[in-house]
Structure 1
Amino acid sequence: MSETVSFGYENVDASEKASRVRAVFSNVAKSYDLMNDAMSGGMHRLWKDRFVRRVKPRAGEAILDMAGGTGDIAFRMHPSGAQITVSDINPEMLTVGMERAQKRKLEGLIWSEQNAETLTFPSSSFDAYTIAFGIRNVTHIQQALGEAHRVLKRGGRFFCLEFSTTLWPGFAEVYDSYSHKLVPKLGKVLAKDEDSYRYLIESIRRFPDMPGFERMIGQAGFVQTRVEPLLGGLVAIHSGWKI
Structure 2
Amino acid sequence: MQDAHPSDPAPDHDAAARTHFGYAEVRLDDKQTLVDDVFHKVAHRYDVMNDLMSGGLHRVWKDVFVAKVQPSKRSPFKHLDVAGGTGDIAFRVARAGGPKTDVTVLDINPDMLGVGRERAEKNGLARQLTFVEANAEELPFPDAEFDAYTIAFGIRNVPRIDKALAEAFRVLKRGGRFLCLEFSHVEAPALARIYESYSFSVIPAIGRLVTGEAEPYRYLVESIRQFPAPEDFAAMIEKAGFQRVGFTRLTGGVVAIHSGWKL
Q: TM-score w.r.t. structure 1 length?
A: 0.98
Map of 1:64 onto structure 2: 80
Q: Does residue 1:74 correspond to 2:94, yes or no? A: no
Q: Percent of aligned positions with the same letter in both sequences?
A: 54
Unaligned runs of 5+ in 1: none
| 1:191-206 mapped onto 2 (5 Å cutoff) | 191-206=211-226
For residue 18 of structure 1, report the CA deviation from its aligned partner. Answer: 0.6
Q: SS of the counterpart of 2:189?
A: coil
For residue 183 of structure 1, report the CA deviation from its aligned partner. Answer: 0.5
Q: Which moved more, 1:72-81 or 1:196-205?
A: 72-81
Q: SS of the counterpart of 2:235?
A: helix
Deviations 1:141-197 (A, max 9, x none): 111000000000111100000001010230001000100111011000011110000
* One-letter identity of the residue aligned with 2:184: S
- For the pair shown, the structure with the greater C-alpha radius of gyration is 2
Find the partner of 2:252 among 216, 228, 232: 232
Runs of 4+ in 1 over 2 A off after TM superposition: none
Kindly tell me the number of residue pairs found equivalent between the two proteins: 243
Map of 2:119 onto structure 1: 100
Find the partner of 2:144 among 79, 103, 124: 124
Residues of 1 paired with 2:112 and 2:78: CA distance?
A: 22
Q: Does residue 1:20 correspond to 2:34, yes or no? A: yes
For residue 91 of structure 1, report the CA deviation from its aligned partner. Answer: 0.5
Residues of 1 paired with 2:33 and 2:136: CA distance?
A: 14
Map of 2:10 onto structure 1: none
C-alpha RMSD of the superposition: 0.8
* One-letter identity of the residue aligned with 1:87: L
Q: TM-score w.r.t. structure 2 length?
A: 0.91
Residues of 1 paired with 2:172 and 2:123: CA distance?
A: 29
Map of 2:200 onto structure 1: 180
Residues of 2 paired with 1:38 and 1:95: CA distance?
A: 22
Map of 1:7 onto structure 2: 21
Residues of 2 paired with 1:55 and 1:169: CA distance?
A: 32
